[in-house]
Structure 1
Amino acid sequence: MKFCVHLNMQISPPKHLAPFIRHYIFLENHEKDIKNVRLFTDGSTGLILSANMNLYSDFSEEHIPASFFYGTLNSYKDFSSKGKFSFIAVVFQPYFLNMILNTSAKEVKNQIISVEDVLKDKLIRFQDQLFDKINPLTIINDLNIFFTRFISKETGTDYQLIAAIQQYILQHKGSVSSKDLEYFTGYSERHLERKFENYMGVSPKKYTNIIRLHYFLSLMSQGVSDENMTSLSYHAGYSDQSHLIREFKKSIGLTPRQYIKTENKMAVNFIEL
C-alpha cells in the first residue's frame, strides 16, 4: 500500500513570507497498515502539524509527538507510521527555526521538539482544524496569517546576512568554496562558520554539500541512464562518480539507483521505504 497524497498538494507562501517559509505540503494516508518512511536532509528546518498521527522513530517504539518542529538534519531519519493520518508540513528556510525557538540552531540540529513544549496552545487550533478535516487550503491561509504576525517584530541584520549567504549558495547550486564566501561577505571563514552554525544548524561547507546534492537530484529527475550518470555528476560539481555515490549514501542512505527505483516519493526528500 502507498500513501494517498491529497492533490499532490505543495503550496508556496505569499511573497512576504518566502524569506522564512519555503512551502507547505499536505499529505493524507487512508490506509491502516504500518508504513516505513525516510526524511532526509535538504538543509531546511520545519514544522509538522497533525492531530492524529502515530509516528515512531527509527522503526522503534519511541513515539513522536503528533505535532513537532525538526532541526536541520545531518543526513536522514527513519520513521514508521501506524494507521490513518493527515498532516501539514511547513518547510522553513533553515534560519526561521532559530527565530521561532530563540535558541542556537546548532543546539537543535537533528532534534525533534514537541510543539507543546515551545508554543504551548498557540498551534492547537490548527491541529483541531486538521482533526475536523477543514480544507487544507483554509488551514494554510490561517498559518500564513499566524506567521505574518510572528515576523512582524524586528529580525535583525544577522538574519539578513545569513539569508544573503544562503541565496548566494543556492544561486551557485552549492558549488561555492570557503574563499568564495569570504570574498562575498568580507568575513573570515571561522566567523562565517560560527554565524552559520548558530542560525542554520550546520557549517557553510555542509550546507553547500546538501544544496549540490539536491541539484543533482533535480538533474536526475529529468532522466538518468548508465551513460549520463557520470556527466550529470560532473555537471553538479562532483569530481568523480564515486565521490557522488559516497555523498548520496551518507545523506540519503541509498545509492542514486536505489533512490530512482523508490516508487513513492511524497516529496523530494520524503520517501516510503
Structure 2
Amino acid sequence: MQILPPKELLPYIKHYLFLESAADPQKTLRLFSDGNTGMVFLLNQGRLSINRNDHLPQSFLYGQISHFKDLCLIERISFIIVVFQPDGLYKLLGIPAHELKDQIIGLKDIFGQSADRLYDQLMYCKHPTAKLNALNTFFCTLAIQHKSLGQTSFSNVLKYITDHKGRLSVEELLKLSGHNERQMERIFAEQVGMSPKKFGRIVQLHCFLKLLRNKPDGTTLTTISYESGYFDQSHLIRTFKKYTGFTPSIYLNNTSRLTINFMEFQALPDRLSGLYNLS
C-alpha cells in the first residue's frame, strides 16, 4: 500500500510504503536506485540482510544506492518504508547526502531513544492509520526541530528534471539554476548524493519503466525506448542492465514488482515469492 504524507511533509517525503512478506522460510529481492533515499522499519521477528551476509537493524536509514542490491528475507516480515524526496533527507537532517551514499545506518545511531519510541509505536499499533499518524507526528516534529526549509529553489530544479523525464543537457540545467557547473555538482553531492548527470539518467530510466509497465499490447520495446529519449534499443539495454542487473524483458516477464524498483523474480530456483501490499 502506497500512501502520500500530509501536505506539510511533501517537501521531504515522497510517500510511505506498507508491505508484508508471507511466511516463506527465505526469499530474495532485487533493489535498485530510484534517485531517492529512505527509512525502513521491520516490524516482525524476521531478519533482512544484504547479499546474504550482514543482517540489518530492525530500523535503519539508507542513502543513495550506487549499484543494485539483493536483499535476503528470512521468515515473515512486515515493512514500512519511508521514501524521501531526492533532497528530503538532507533538508530534514542537514547531513550531507554524499556522506550517506551506499550507507545503512541504524536509526538509534541518529535519533537515540526517540527512534526506539517510534519503533515501539509502529510495532504495537494494530491499524495502518495509527502507524501513519505516528510517522507523520515524528517527521513533523523533526522538521520543526531542525527548522527545515521545505520547498527550496533547488527542489524546483529537481522537479524540473523530473518533469522533463531526465532529458536535460548540462547547459540547460545550469541556465535554469543560475549556477556554474562546479557549483551544481557540489549542490547535488551535498543535497542528493549523486551527480546531476546520474540523477537525470535514473529519472529517465524510471520514466521508461513506467511506460514499460503500462505499455499497450503490440507496443515494441524500440518504440518505448525512443519515447523515453534513448538513442536506440541497445543504448537502453546497456543502461538498464547497468542499474538493475538484468534486461528489460526479464524485468517485464520474470519479475513481480512490489514497487517499480523493488521486485521478486518468478523463474529462478531461489524463488522470490510472497510479498504483497498490505490493505
Cα separation, 1, equivalents of 2:124 and 2:95:
33
Whole-angstrom CA distance in 2 between matches of 1:45 and 1:181 = 22
**Are 1:55 and 2:29 matched, yes or no?**
no
Question: What do you get for the CA RMSD once the two structures are aligned?
Answer: 1.8
Q: Any unmatched runs of 5+ in structure 1?
A: 1-8
The yes-or-no answer on 1:122 pairing with 2:114 is: yes
Distance 1:33 1:171 in 2: 42
Determine if contact 2:118/2:138 at 8 Å carries over to the other structure: no
User: What is the CA distance between 1:200 and its match in structure 2?
Assistant: 0.2
Please give the secondary structure, in 1, of the residue aligned with 2:15. Answer: strand
**2:188 and 2:216 mapped to 1: Cα distance?**
34
Indicate yes or no: 2:266 matched with 1:266: no
1:13 matched to which residue of 2? 5
CA–CA separation in structure 1 for the residues paired with 2:58 and 2:134: 19
* TM-score normalised by length of structure 2: 0.89
The 3-state SS of whatever aligns with 1:234 is helix
Please report how far the alpha carbon of residue 108 of structure 1 lies from its aligned counterpart in structure 2 after TM superposition.
1.1
2:129 maps to: 137
2:139 corresponds, among 119, 137, 147, to 147
1:267/1:35 CA distance change after superposition, 3 Å: same
Cα deviation 1:22-59 (Å, max 9, x = unaligned) = 00011112313100011110000010012334011112
- Cα deviation, residue 101, structure 1: 4.1
> More displaced, 188-197 or 221-230?
221-230
Offset from partner CA, 1:81-130 (integer Å, 9 cap, x none): 10011120000012222234432111111111111111112122332234
Distance apart, 1:161 and its partner CA: 2.7
- Pairwise CA distance, 1:79: 1.0
The AA in structure 2 aligned to 1:155 is S
Q: 2-side partners of 1:208 and 1:101: how far apart?
A: 24
In 2: Cα distance, 1:195 partner to 1:102 partner? 13
1:262 touches 1:271 (CA, 8 Å); kept in 2?
no
The residue aligned with 1:4 is: none
The code of the aligned residue for 2:166 comes to: G
Q: Which stretch has the larger CA shift, 172-181 or 89-98?
A: 89-98
Q: Select which of 82, 97, 104 maps to 1:90.
A: 82
1:240 to 232, 235, 248: 232
Pick aligned residue for 1:28 from 20, 44, 51: 20
Aligned to 1:80, what secondary structure does the other structure show? strand
Task: Tell me if structure 2 keeps the 8 A contact 1:47–1:67.
Answer: yes
Deviation at 1:131, TM superposition (A): 3.0
Post-superposition offset of 1:255: 0.4
TM-score, reference length from structure 1: 0.91
Q: How many residues are aligned here? A: 263
Q: Which moved more, 1:124-133 or 1:187-196?
A: 124-133
2:257 matches 1:257:
no
Structure 1 residue corresponding to 2:165, chosen from 153, 166, 173: 173
Matched letter for residue 38 of structure 1: R
8 Å Cα contact 2:12-2:91 kept in structure 1: no
Compare relative contact order (CA 8 Å, sep 6+) and give the higher one, 1 or 2. 2
Q: What are the Cα deviations for residues 172-205 of structure 1, in whole angstroms up to 9, with x where unaligned?
A: 0111111011110111111101111111000110
For 1:172-211, list aligned pairs within 5 A: 172-211=164-203
Equivalent residues of 2:256, 2:263 under 8 A apart: yes
Measured in 2, the distance between the counterparts of 1:228 and 1:235 equals 11
